[in-house]
Amino acid sequence: MLRSFAADYYDELALGIDFTARDIQQKHKEKGLPWELAKAFDGSAPVSNFVPKSKFSDLYHLDFKLDINGKTRQHGKIPKTFYSLLNAS
pLDDT of residue 48: 92
Question: What is the per-residue pLDDT across 22-40, written as a single tens digit (0 to 9) for each?
Answer: 999 999 999 999 988 899 8
pLDDT confidence bin for 62, thresholds 50/70/90: confident
Name the percent of the chain lying above pLDDT 70.
83
pLDDT of residue 69: 95
Cα 55 from chain centroid? Answer: 19
Q: Are 60 and 3 in contact (CB under 8 A)?
A: yes
pTM of the model: 0.63
Q: Which residue has the higher pLDDT, 15 or 89?
A: 15
pLDDT at 73 over 50: yes
